Amino acid sequence: MKWLLRKCTRCGAYTLRRDACPRCGGPVKVPHPPRFSPEDKYLKYRYMMKKLAGEIPEDC
Ligand SMILES: [Zn+2]
């Protein structure tokens, strides 16, 4: 998925421009980097499976 919206790091304005903020000319970046990568999800799932299988104690 490609996220088009950027946020200015200087004034906080949202923009679709990728190079610079149209308002103040400051640098822009993607406002919300993904918190969990697919790998993390997979690890969490594997952990859950292990827990269900009884390999990890409940109070771990
Ligand atoms: Zn700006």
Task: Tell me the domains of the chain and their CATH numbers.
Answer: 6-52 (2.20.28)
Task: Determine how many CB atoms are found less than 10 A away from the CB of residue 16.
Answer: 9
Q: Give the pLDDT of residue 1.
A: 54
Q: What is the Å distance from ligand 1's center to 23 Cα? A: 5
* Total residue count of the chain as it appears in this document: 60
Please give the full DSSP string across 18-50, using - where no structure is assigned: SSS-TTT---EE-S---SS-HHHHHHHHHHHHH
Per residue of the chain (60 residues), what is the pLDDT tens digit?
Answer: 566 889 999 999 999 999 999 999 999 998 876 666 667 777 888 888 888 888 777 665
Distance 11 CA to ligand 1 centre (A): 4
Question: Ligand 1 centroid to 25 CA: how many Å?
Answer: 6
**pTM, full prediction:** 0.50
How far, in Å, is the centroid of ligand 1 from the Cα of 31? 13
